[in-house]
Structure formats: structure tokens, C-alpha cells
Amino acid sequence: MVASICSFFNNDMVIDILARLPVKTLLRFKSVSKPMLSVITNPRFITSHLHQSTKNSSLVFHFSHDEFPISMLYYTEPTILRVVHIPPSMKDHSLKPRIRIKGSCGGLLFMEIFFGCCMFHYGFWNPANRQFKKVTGPQQCINLLAEGFGYGSKINDYKLVRIGYFLHPRTLITRYDRRRVDSVVRALVFSWKTNSWRTVEDGALLGGRFSDAVAVKGDLYWKVSGVENLANEVVLAFDSDTDMFRRIELPGLNQSSPNYSMTITGFKDSLGLFVFLEGSSNSSFDLWVLNESRMGGHIKSWSKLLTVGPMSRFGWPISAWRGKIILKSPNEKDGFFLYDPISQEVIDVPISSSGAYDYAETLASVDGTSNLMLEDAPL
């Protein structure tokens, strides 16, 4: 009997069906049998499930001051918006926390939790299985330029990246006069697997004004401007599998207008680039995508994928989700709207939010090593 059950759960078709189920449903199966438990805790199955889940990802909206500051938009028919309750351990302080999503990748959210004017801790949060874990910050003080949250699929490891100038340790004398160790830009990288930080020095690292990080297939990208000795903006990329950085040139466009702006985004598993005039009332913009060829290791080229507009309403393109473009309305109270470049359909998302993130469910634990914190927060 046991052998027949094991054979049933080892069937490829059954595994494929299970990989398409929501995390909440799969967790209910944990107590059904040991073979079932073995399946849903298997790293290969978790990876397969995440791959399927990514095809039906949700949007996570962040609210800065509400009691429950995280909401998810489930793009079904009709569109469903659901509030997600934060874990109790995010509120283990007498003061009301301010929660900020710093990144979403591989089914986990990277959070910063503030109390008063000081940051209290980092955290990994998996809304699907209700796990939350605090992450100890690095001992090295840093003059922060940029940060991001990625996932190395080849090594199955989540990475936190902080880029900046190292500072001398805080003392009573230097408390308000923090001095750089030197003029070298370095990175601090946290590994979910080892639960530790390491320093990365890479010649591709550079100073300047960084955009928010964009995650594409787990790797991280920042647009960097104001770089000394560089005439144009560049993209800094981080490989989450190898912890290596590289620079990517932006397409050679006519940037004569002072209001000319470019915003990087992820678009259908590729790095994308929105090109638009900030001060223009014409709701038109171009979308470029990066075509990467691994021949020789780093041959890349940009191509213009499409031109959008003019549209019936004005908005700034900020990101993309499931082939649709997310635009932010000029009036903050009007929130966001989605634009389908194929059908030209406009979908209102009347949410006043400080951020929108692509999120896919995962069975992955927030804890790569030990000290797992499982929260019984309501869904």
C-alpha cells in the first residue's frame, strides 16, 4: 500500500498538477501522508512550483501609514484586491511600525521595519506560508548608495545587496562625523543559505545616483547617473549566482531635452527601458528591451520593442507586470493604472500606494539555515 502511494506521488503528471496548486492548498496536504510531505518539501518541487507560480504572479502594493500596510492585487476576472495581514513579530515593539518593502524576488519579500526615526530590523517575509524571519544587519557601517534583493536560481540562494562607501566604526567622538574608510565603492552581500554577510570588491562597481533595483530572473539592475568620468548613464548589473557585477551601456538615444528620462524595468524576463519626456503632456513613450547573447560572455544589444501612445489618459510608466505596463497617475490620489500594449485596454487600479511589486507565491522557507519563525497571522 505504501509503495503504491509513493509510486502515485512520483508520477510526473501528478507532480505537474501539484505544482500548479496554490501554496495554501498544498500546505493542507502536509498531514495527508509522508510521501506527500516529502513531495512538497523537496527543493526540486519547490523550484518547479515557483516556476509555475511566476506565470500567475500578483501585484503587491505598499501603503505607508495604514494599519495593514500591504495589499495584493490578484489579476483575475474580475480583478481582486486583498489586504494581507502582517506577521505579529513585525509588531513586537511598543511603537507602531512603519514597514517598507525593499524588494520582491523568488516568492519572498524583503522588508525594512522602522520604529520611530530609527530602522529596527530587516526581514524576509513569505506571505504565502506566513513565515517571517528577522535578518541581522551587517557589522560594517556603510554610506549607502543602493540596495536590492535577488535570487540565484542555479544555487537556490536569496541575496541582499548593499552598495556604498565603507565608514569607520561609530565611536563617541565620530558619532556625528562619519568618515569614509577610502574612496572605493564596495558591496555587502547577504546569503540566505549561509545566513551571513560578505564583502565584494569589483571593478565594475561605481558611485553615482542609483535608481531603485529591478530584479529580472533573479539578477539585479540599477540605472546609475552622475558618474564621474562617464558622460552618459549606465546600468549596473549583479549576478545573484556568482556575486559578480558588470556594466551595461544604455542605447544611444538623442538626450538633448533636459526632461528626457529613462526608467529601467523588467519586461517578460528581459531588462526593459522606458523612454519618455517628463514634462510633456503627450502620454507617449517607447519601450526598449535588452537582448543578451552569452557568446563571449557579455555581448548585449538594445532594441526598441514598441511605442505606446498617445493614450487617452496621462501617466508615467514605472514598471511592467505580466506583459502589461504599470503607469502612475499625476494625481497621487488616482493611484495606478495598467495598460495592455496589445489590446490597448486601460485597467484602473485606484490605489494611493508608495510602491508596486511583482510577487509570485512560493513554498520556500524564509530560513535558509535555522531559527525559523512561523507566524499564525490570518490570511
pLDDT tens digits for range 128-179: 988 888 888 888 888 999 999 999 999 999 999 999 999 877 665 555 556 7
User: pLDDT tier at 371 (50, 70, 90 boundaries)?
Assistant: very low
pLDDT tens digits, 186-228:
999 999 999 999 999 999 999 999 999 999 999 999 999 988 7
User: pLDDT tier at 304 (50, 70, 90 boundaries)?
Assistant: very high
Please give the mean pLDDT across all residues of the chain: 81
As a whole number of angstroms, the distance between CA 114 and CA 95 comes to 9
Q: What is the pLDDT of residue 3?
A: 46
Element (H, E) at 373: none
Looking at the chain, the whole-number percentage of residues with pLDDT higher than 70 is 77
User: pLDDT tier at 1 (50, 70, 90 boundaries)?
Assistant: very low
Looking at residue 177, its amino acid is D
For the residues of 124-178, what is the DSSP string, one character each?
EEETTTTEEEEEPPPSS-EEEEEEEEEEETTTTEEEEEEEEEEEPPP-TTTTT--
Q: What is the pTM of this model?
A: 0.86
Identity of the highest mean pLDDT range in 81-85, 171-175, 268-272: 268-272
pLDDT at 375 over 50: no
Contact between 83 and 71 (Cβ < 8 Å): yes
As a whole number of angstroms, the distance between CA 318 and CA 315 comes to 9
**Best CA proximity match to 99, nearest among 80, 78, 84:** 84
pLDDT tens digits, 279-302:
666 678 999 999 876 544 455 789
Place of cell 518593502: 101
pLDDT tens digits, 109-122:
998 877 666 556 78
As a whole number of angstroms, the distance between CA 239 and CA 297 comes to 13
Between residues 88 and 158, the one the model is more confident about: 158
- Grid coordinates representing 63 are 501603503
As a whole number of angstroms, the distance between CA 160 and CA 197 comes to 9
pLDDT at 377 over 50: no
For the residues of 299-367, what is the DSSP string, one character each?
EEEEEEEEEE---SS--EEEEEETTEEEEE-SSGGG-EEEE-TTT--EEEE----SEEEEE------S-
Residue 355: strand pairing partners: 62
pLDDT at 34 over 60: yes
Q: What is the pLDDT of residue 298?
A: 57
As a whole number of angstroms, the distance between CA 51 and CA 373 comes to 25
